[in-house]
Amino acid sequence: MQALNRKNFNKNKYPTKIMQYGEGNFLRAFIDWQIDKLNETSDLNAGVAVIRPIDYDAIPLLNVQDGLYTTIIRGLNEQGETVADHRIISSINEEIPVYKDFPRYMALAENPDLKIIFSNTTEAGIEYIDTDKLDDAPAKAFPAKLTQWLFHRFNHFNGSPDSGMVIIPCELIDYNGEKLKEIVFQYCQLWQLPHTFVTWLNESNYFCSSLVDRIVTGFPRDEHQQLQESLGYLDNFMVTAEYFHLFVIQGPQHLAELLCLQNSDLNIKIVDDISPYKQQKVGILNGAHTALVPLAYMANIDSVGDALADPLFEKYLTQLIFSEIIPTLDLPEEELKRFANDVLNRFRNPYICHLLLSISLNSMTKFKTRILPQLHTYVATNNAVPNMMALAIAGQILMYKGLRNEQPIELSDAPQWLELFNTLWHDFDNNALSLTALVEQVLGAKWHWESDLNEIPELTATVTTHLRTMLTNGVGATLTNQLGQ
């Protein structure tokens, strides 16, 4: 079989208009995949220069294959049909190892066609290291490298407003654009850079916060040889991902024109405020995940896909999302419903196996951040307890007894919670604590919830009733009774 490269495969090459910090699977199956599709369907005509921001030699550069690689996108489409689409990505022009070729990296700053910067250097990448220096080659922290590059660009173009950049970090931290900008300005102060540069940063550059959403399953190690034989060529950089994608950018409206999104069917949104979309993702996607885990696991189901294949749990999730979560969110109802249906299809994806126990890590924190805000809003709006959420809380308390079918569960959470649950269930089993008192202790943990949840009318009683029924009849029978199966 032939190796995948530009000598063996005649693929388009585009002028470098985008710089990207990070060569990992996510950016290649998300950003570079989208750029490739826009190159094909619009006038974008943009190539990407990838910067490897970390000094290591373990993984070869993408240059080995002339920047070409295959994305394999698999899952359920909007009609619920199984799809598997492969695509040779040709949007990457080169990968520059910044620690090995710092001059080449800095020379990119002199390219007048460059307009956009993307990054994904992991959550730890957006950091401030006060020992970094302007004349380091390169500085260690990603924001410091970026400041070096921007300062060189500012000097090369004499502070021209047209030389400013749109900078879109994709790291998974809240308001990543604002955080990155804040640290860049810290370096301006540390290095005593001129006020004219700071003004140019403020007035001619845009630091855009983003929300990214796609499960990228990465290099298909177990299927690699089979996939190469199926495709008919050798590719050591192929990457797999789910069908769904969403990219929300809090940025200037001219970015839509810059990316040529006018007639695009890509799920990219340029918005003034990213917060409703963050709430949508946290509430619907993450909230449904968190609510499902303890209930399904304690009903002897081990994966998300298996849970969705069970009509009882499919009905539970549907009712939770559409009746209790969506009404608490601040986006158009039809948009929320589309996202919710996409989420259910993502949960059904036969190409991804999400084990419930593995995603139960730190569930108590997840309940606080993903479910509690919606619970408070629902109660305030309806003056009633959301029953599906109450069932999830009961399931969580039951799971943290640490037993399934009398076998120990490997729980992973904050020690304070694990110790508390161990004590509470020990006391309950020894008739030293009533079930109501056990629930009151969990809901009354102000150190975690930042309030006493027992003060929410009927919540304690509802959770206790569900928990008692689960202990007596099991989770499945409890849900069946509540859902009218």
Using one digit for the tens of pLDDT, what is the confidence trace for 159-217?
A: 999 999 999 999 999 999 999 999 999 999 999 999 999 999 999 999 999 999 999 99
Whole-angstrom Cα distance, residue 238 to residue 223? Answer: 11
Residue 485, pLDDT score? 60
Express each pLDDT in 67-97 by its tens digit.
Answer: 999 999 999 998 999 999 999 999 999 999 9
Q: Is the CB of residue 315 less than 8 Å from the CB of residue 301? A: no
Over residues 135-150, mean pLDDT: 98
Which residue type, as a one-letter code, is found at position 157? Answer: F
242 near 73, Cβ under 8 Å? Answer: yes
Torsion of CA 270, 272, 278, 284, to 10 degrees: -70
pLDDT in tens, 247-269: 999 999 999 999 999 999 999 99
Nearest to 217, CA basis, from 31, 354, 102: 354
Percent residues over pLDDT 70 in the chain: 100
Which residues have a Cβ under 8 Å from the Cβ of 417 and sit 6 or more positions away? 364, 400, 448
Backbone angles phi, psi at 167, to 5 degrees: -110, 120
Closest CA to 452 of 354, 357, 372, 371: 372
The string of DSSP codes covering 151-188 is HHHHHHTTT-GGG--EEEE--SSTTHHHHHHHHHHHHH
Q: What are the residues whose beta carbons fall under 8 Å from the beta carbon of 311, sequence distance 6 or more?
A: 485
Segment among 75-84, 301-310, 420-429, 469-478 with least mean pLDDT: 75-84
Cα 172 to chain centroid distance, Å, stands at 6
Residue 210, H or E segment: strand 209-213
- For the chain, count helices (H), then strands (E): 21, 17
pLDDT at 411 over 80: yes
* pLDDT tens profile 109-120: 999 999 999 999
Q: Alpha-carbon distance 467 to 461, whole Å?
A: 10
Q: Among residues of the chain, what percentage have pLDDT more than 90?
A: 98
Q: Dump pLDDT digits (tens) for 123-135.
A: 789 999 999 999 9
| Residue 182: exposure state from Cβ atoms within 10 A (0-12, 13-18, ≥19) | middle
Per-residue pLDDT, 97: 96
Torsion of CA 418, 419, 425, 431, to 10 degrees: -170
Do the bridges between strand 239-242 and strand 69-76 make them parallel or antiparallel, or are there none, so unpaired? parallel
| Position 58 pLDDT exceeds 80 | no
> CA dist 443 to 147, 370, 414, Å?
47, 16, 16
What radius of gyration do the chain's Cα atoms show? 25
The CA-atom distances, in angstroms, between 113 and each of 45, 48, 55, 211, 469 are: 11, 11, 27, 26, 65
Tell me the C-alpha to C-alpha distance, in Å, between residue 202 and each of 97, 119, 206, 207, 331.
Answer: 29, 19, 8, 9, 30
Q: Band of the pLDDT at 122, cuts 50, 70, 90?
A: confident
For position 131, what pLDDT does the model report?
98
Nearest to 192 by CA among 152, 133, 131: 133
Structure tokens at 409: 């569960």
Distance, CA of 386 to CA of 278 (rounded, Å): 22
- Give the pLDDT confidence of 332-370 residue by residue, as tens digits: 999 999 999 999 999 999 999 999 999 999 999 999 999
* 447, 448, 452, 458 alpha-carbon torsion, rounded to 10°: -160
CA dihedral 467, 468, 473, 476 (to 10 degrees): -20
Cis? peptide before 138, omega within 30° of 0: yes
Q: What are phi and psi of 305, to 5 degrees?
A: -60, -40
- Average predicted confidence (pLDDT) for the chain: 97
Q: Is the pLDDT of residue 311 over 70?
A: yes
Contacts of 135 (CB under 8 A, 6+ apart): none
Nearest to 467 by CA among 414, 399, 419: 399
Distance of alpha carbon 182 from alpha carbon 196, whole angstroms: 17
